[in-house]
Amino acid sequence: MSIEERKRKSDFILKESNTLEENYQIKIYKPSQKTAWNSFVKEAKNATFLFQRDFMDYHSDRFQDHSLLVYKAEKLVAVLPANISNSELHSHQGLTYGGLVLGKKTTFEETLQIFKSLLSFLKEEGVEVLNLKLLPKIYHQLPSDEIDYLLFLVKASLVRRDITSCVFNENPLKIASSNRLRGIKKGEKNELQVREEANFKPFWIEVLEPNLKKVHNQKPVHSLEEIELLQSRFPNNIKQFNVYKNDEIVAGATIFETATVAHAQYISANEIGRQTGGLDFLFKYLLQHFSHKKYFDFGIINEEQGKKINQGLLNWKETFGGRSIVHDFYEIKTENHELLNDIFI
């Protein structure tokens, strides 16, 4: 039976546990399970609003969704946001991060059985490789490194590692760079103003899109219509901050806010913004505005699949007190589920 046929049928596949009496069951996500999925994600210990179906499904036309739900005794105990491509399962390629999403009370031994069941299920489905990109630890609401250890046991290959720069707000570093302080002063002298706005169009059309095209010949990951749609669905999580000089927009940042992190999804300034210290002025404001969050995440500074670092971008973020954490991508052979047998002594 093909992957597509199995998906349409979407039967439960029962997996016998080696150390627990209960069976774990895997089911491929269907739209009828949206409420159950969202409810689980909201209460998970290692999830953000990006895993909500209203976020994941905005680009469903670009990806063949193959997300998985794990049940134990008919109770949902884990989910895996995923899509399938060329007979490989990907921890969803349309999301910045992903991984196995677990409940707050899930123990290590339960996580072991869940992960083993997933790999075994995928092997039977004809999926030879699981590509898993982990949720950076700053987004965890409770310790959740079980999967890191299990990846070691199944001999997962680390295929990519990005660096993201973040400020730890419980022990922030002072802005000590003369360049940053000079930029902030320049912004004050030019009487720049920061405004939080619900309208994304000025930033997208007048700053972000022209700047990306000129500097990188690229477009934003999200179109204006997509970011407006997502913000309408998640108004408490997606926020826009713009910088104005004499009522003319000169810079801005789009913030994705989660339980523990304020993440700068987009950062950009036009020529006037660069000349007047627009981004320095803006980020001094944002660091103060989001100081109640555990972390402020400036975002990755890598290019070429993690193998190169944009040094100028790194230096700019570090002068605000940002320091590095990693974002890992793994490749797992599903046949290695057998390596999770008999690990307890």
**Looking at domain 3-161+328-340, what is its CATH homologous superfamily?**
Gcn5-related N-acetyltransferase (GNAT) (3.40.630.30)
pLDDT at position 4 is 52
Amino acid at 338: E
Q: What does the domain layout of the chain look like in residue ranges?
A: 3-161+328-340, 171-293
Q: How far apart are CA 143 and CA 145, in angstroms?
A: 6
Nearest to 97, CA basis, from 286, 311, 292, 297? 297
Which segments in the chain show pLDDT lower than 50? 1-3, 6-21
Q: How far apart are CA 302 and CA 11, in angstroms?
A: 41
Q: How far apart are CA 201 and CA 286, in angstroms?
A: 20
pLDDT at position 59 is 83
Q: Sign of the CA dihedral 64, 65, 70, 71? A: negative
Q: How far apart are CA 320 and CA 177, in angstroms?
A: 8
Q: Do domains 3-161+328-340 and 171-293 have the same CATH topology?
A: yes
pLDDT at position 16 is 31
pLDDT at position 29 is 97
Give the other-Cβ count within 10 Å of 236's Cβ. 8
pLDDT tens digits, one per residue of 137-147 = 999 999 999 99
pLDDT at position 142 is 96
Amino acid at 198: A
Fold assignment, 171-293: Aminopeptidase (3.40.630)
Nearest to 284, CA basis, from 323, 245, 235, 319? 319
CB contact set of 171 (below 8 Å; sequence gap of 6+): none
pLDDT tens digits, one per residue of 49-106 = 999 999 999 988 889 999 999 999 899 999 999 999 888 999 999 999 999 999 999 9
